[in-house]
Amino acid sequence: MNLPAPKPLRLEEAALFLDLDGTLAPIAARPGDVRPDTRRTRLLERLNEGLGGRLAVVSGRTLDDIDRILEGRIVCASGVHGLVRRDCDGRIHTPAPHPAMDEAIAALRRFAARDAGLLVEDKGASVALHFRLARHHSLAARDLARRIAADTGLTLQEGDMVEELRTPGPSKGDSIRDFMETPIFRGAHPVFAGDDATDEHGFAEVARLGGFGVLVGPPRRTHARFGLRNVEDVLAWLEAAR
């Protein structure tokens, strides 16, 4: 079922949470291919000012990658699907990596050695195996990730042409809840836009807090109340905020 598009945001009452890949930036074959964009950077600067700082990026990427792509303009951020959070005063909360993380990284790298299109991304508290450039290995990649998760107790995070093994810990929804409990966000109306299955925790949390989620991309079963087709629609919706 198609979801209705959201109305333009009223900045004076909103707290805005945004995923990055597939929401603010098109998904690329390689994570490093996503670059800064002047239009996006200027838009986020304007939104952050209009929201009085109540803007946080909630992404599967590391904080370093978020800062690289967004040119360091957004301080409030959560990375690695909620495991790492940087408060608006710059304090960073991050868990110690799971004891089996080195073992998982080594196993994924051995697997990736069979094809140059298989990419292993070490995020510290998690590791991701990307196979968008080697789709014929997708079944084997998913089977391997599931076996590692079952053997080690790492949390399996399945995504769009990626398998990620995470240190057990907070989700994107948990990060949104923690942001909303801080003075700068408290009392505002939370809105979260995202595209992936990992964003469902965030959609559920903003709904619990009286706000709403915006699903970006094809319709599916979701906790989001509204929908937008693609990144371009997201940027246009955000540009209409006042």
Task: Give catalytic residues, as residue numbers.
Answer: 19
Burial 122-156 (b: 16+ CB within 10 A, else e): bbbbbbbbbbbebeebeeebeebbeebbeebebbe
